[in-house]
Amino acid sequence: MKRPGFICVCLICLLSGSVRGQNPEIRFHHIGNEEGLSHSLVAAVAEDSLGFLWFGTQDGLDRYDGYEFRTYFKGTGNRHPSDSWVRDLYIDRHNQLWIWYQGAGLERFDLYTETFYQYRPDSLDPGSISSNTYPSGQTLVYTVFYEDPDGTLWIGTDRGLNRYDRDRDSFLAIRHDPEDPGSLSDDRINSIAGDEEGRLWIATYHGLNRLDPSTGKIERLDCSTGPEGILHDSIITCLYVDRDHTVW
């Protein structure tokens, strides 16, 4: 249910004309339902190459041009989203908007043709995505999209890592295999990051993994590695690589 009185988006404006001492005055500009936002609960924000802001809400996908909103509501056909509660947004280098829904669904929205494409797991299709839900049991929403320097998009799910083939519009799934120590340590992906050598660091609910995309080799880095271990906990929830190439 919409709550018009609830303030949901705040844009911070630094007013250069109003300065006290050395600190500029900070004012908040509130944007909510009365200004056209579809719902007061905003879970994701992204910006495309044209400067449009995209807001994923509990009741629709909103595009904001700085003056007004255009909302894409749930509907039928490829001109409407298949669900309404957006949990995550990601815009890749090809200006494709990837949308992850609360109701278990992944879609790609082509910003040029304004067409929605759905992706669902299909046991009969080896090129389908391995899953379209967030990691099970997750209490926080982590970004599970990562685009490497070569432009390859990687998507983490609760059933493994997926490499997107843009030319074929299909996926290659990389999964955990209990019989293969060279596979992912766990299928539940929490976070993905890349280092300066092009390797992917993959955080899961049971250990940290390092993947070399050029060879497909996966190295597990978990608490059982080495006599004293190298990690204090096997549940890795978030990753970040800083400018000094240190992985946090």
Q: Which domains does the chain have, with CATH numbers?
A: 124-248 (2.130.10.10)
pLDDT at 233: 78
The secondary structure of 224-241 as a DSSP string is TSSSS-S-S-S------B
pLDDT at 105: 82
**For residue range 193-245, what is the model confidence (pLDDT) as tens digits?**
999 999 999 999 999 999 999 999 999 986 665 555 567 778 888 899 999 99
pLDDT of residue 25: 84
Confidence of residue 102 (pLDDT cuts 50, 70, 90): confident
Question: Could you tell me the strand order of the sheet in which 69-72 lies?
Answer: 42-47, 53-57, 60-64, 69-72
pTM of the model: 0.82
**Residues shown for the chain:** 248
Coil/strand/helix, residue 57? strand
Tokens encoding 219: 């190295």
- Cβ atoms 205, 186 nearer than 8 A: yes
Look up residue 83 and give its two tokens: 């669900």
| Exposure string over 193-218, b if 16+ CB within 10 A, otherwise e | bbeeeebbbbbbbbbbbbbeeeeeeb
Token output for 211:
């993947």
Residue range 49-79, pLDDT digits in tens: 999 999 999 999 999 999 999 999 999 889 9
34 three-state secondary structure = helix
- The answer for residues whose C-beta is within 8 angstroms of residue 125's C-beta and 6 or more apart is none
Q: Tell which residue, 207, 170, 200, has the closest CA to residue 186.
A: 207
Distances (CA, A) of 167 to 163, 164, 170, 172, 247: 12, 9, 8, 13, 31
pLDDT band at 23 (very low <50, low <70, confident <90, very high): low
- Report percent pLDDT > 90 for the chain: 65
> DSSP per residue over 190-229, as a string?
EEEEE-TTS-EEEEETTEEEEEETTTTEEEEE-TTSSSS-
Q: What separation in angstroms does the CA of 25 have from each of 7, 17, 206?
A: 21, 9, 46
* pLDDT tens-digit map of 110-137: 999 999 999 999 999 999 999 877 655 5
Whether the pLDDT of residue 33 is over 50: the answer is yes
